[in-house]
Structure 1
Amino acid sequence: MRPRLALIEDDLDFALMCRSYLERQGFIVTWVMDARAGRSVLRDGAVDLAVLDLGLPDGSGLELLRALRSASRLPVIVVSGRGEEADRVAGLEIGADDYLVKPFSQRELVARIRAVLRRSQPPDEPEVLLVGVLRVDMGARQASAAGVLLTLRPKEYALLETLARSPGRVLSAELLLHQVWGASWRQPATVTEHVYRLRGKLARLPSPAPRITTVRGYGYRLDP
């Protein structure tokens, strides 16, 4: 799975440059331009790291970081034009994992992101996800239940794995589209179609099999 980043940055030119470079380096990037949208993206979850500017039009990035740290250990790299020692210390003390002062090279940003992700990754991430009787083998890219193997197309498997990583949690269709198909794919009906196919295959598994629940107006979740 490609690392998923939230880029919270209001400088249009800088953000477009960052997003383009990060996506070329293999990251999935969700870009928002203010603190309110940033809270929404971080609350929805399913991101591996946030790149957070301090100077946002509707509030301080430090306040957003403080609110995030009260509930989450999501890795955060602060990017800012504020290079004074007091600003750097404040960001790090509130809970930033790293602090980059603008201007900086895109190569350095990628190197910092990868270093923070390495530090934050659990040492023994499980190769197998278990959701009720469903077994998702990420190494083999296969799913089964009670010894019955699911025959899945690559995108169906990727969709199931994404849902199985957050069982019981609602993931929006937009988020699933972004994570499974990538930033350039803009057809939300694709998610609906693949969910429909995946439901049919899960329904043929021995009972009780997990099911994909539609939460109207929000998205989908995998229930054991």
Structure 2
Amino acid sequence: MRPHLALIEDDPDFALMCRTYLEREGFTVTWAMDARAGKAVMHDGGIDLVVLDLGLPDGSGLELLRALRSTSRLPVIVVSGRGDETDRVAGLEIGADDYLVKPFSQRELVARIGAVLRRCRPPELPAVLDVGTLRVDTAARQASGTGVLLNLRPKEYALLEALARSPGRVFSAEQLLELIWGASWQQSATVVEHVYRLRGKLSRLPAPAPRITTVRGYGYRLDP
């Protein structure tokens, strides 16, 4: 699958040059020419990495990066004509994964994008998760307990898989929203509703069955 990049850059000539080269190198590129459009592109979903210019006509790229980092770990490479150490350090401290000073070669940009994507790629995870009598087959996207198959909706399955990957670990509602829905700005009631439905389905498994425990003031955990 072609990695999907968001290019947030106000210079149309530079953006066209970058977009043309990146698409020739196998990327899909969505261009936004200001902070408002860039924010919309990033929150639409499906973006694998952001190439972000700091000098935008309707706001600071650093402020856009700061807002993004409050809800997401989406990889970001800052590209800027500001090469001072202070600017580079500020960008990296706010959460940029890399910082590239203009002018630069398109080959270097492609190499930096590839390196960041490799670093951010999740590690290989086990295909089958066993938590007590619960078995979660991540390849088939199915879960069962003592041989009884659970009839789960997609988000219910995703919630169960997330909890089963770290049994005993407490996840906050915000963490679960980010992991499963990709956005912590949604209402936490979404998580409450899905936990309620999933608990009902787990309760119908033969005993002993894993259970989702509410840790008051913190979140939820899966206990074997």
Q: TM-score w.r.t. structure 2 length?
A: 0.58
What whole-Å deviation, never above 9, does each CA across 1:40-79 have from its counterpart, x for those lacking one? 0111111000000000000000000000000000000000
Whole-angstrom CA distance in 1 between matches of 2:35 and 2:2: 25
* Partner residue, 1:11: 11
Secondary structure class of the residue paired with 1:99: strand
Bigger Rg over Cα: 2
One-letter amino acid of the structure 2 residue matched with residue 74 of structure 1: L
One-letter amino acid of the structure 2 residue matched with residue 26 of structure 1: G
Secondary structure class of the residue paired with 1:14: helix
Sequence identity (%):
75
Whole-angstrom CA distance in 2 between matches of 1:13 and 1:105: 15
Provide the aligned length of Structure 1 versus Structure 2.
140
Whole-angstrom CA distance in 1 between matches of 2:181 and 2:71: 18
Whole-angstrom CA distance in 2 between matches of 1:130 and 1:38: 33
* Partner residue, 2:141: 130
One-letter amino acid of the structure 1 residue matched with residue 47 of structure 2: V
Whole-angstrom CA distance in 1 between matches of 2:141 and 2:100: 38
Whole-angstrom CA distance in 2 between matches of 1:31 and 1:58: 16
1:15-94 equivalence runs, <5 A = 15-94=15-94
Q: CA deviation at 1:111?
A: 0.1
One-letter amino acid of the structure 2 residue matched with residue 76 of structure 1: V
Distance 1:15 1:123, change over 3 A: same
Unaligned runs of 5+ in 2: 128-137, 143-150, 155-178, 183-224
Q: CA deviation at 1:134?
A: 8.9
Note if 1:103 corresponds to 2:103.
Answer: yes
Q: TM-score w.r.t. structure 1 length?
A: 0.58
* Partner residue, 2:158: none
One-letter amino acid of the structure 2 residue matched with residue 105 of structure 1: S
Unaligned runs of 5+ in 1: 136-165, 170-224
What whole-Å deviation, never above 9, does each CA across 1:137-183 have from its counterpart, x for those lacking one? xxxxxxxxxxxxxxxxxxxxxxxxxxxxx9878xxxxxxxxxxxxxx
- CA root-mean-square deviation: 2.5
Secondary structure class of the residue paired with 1:124: coil
Whole-angstrom CA distance in 2 between matches of 1:129 and 1:3: 24
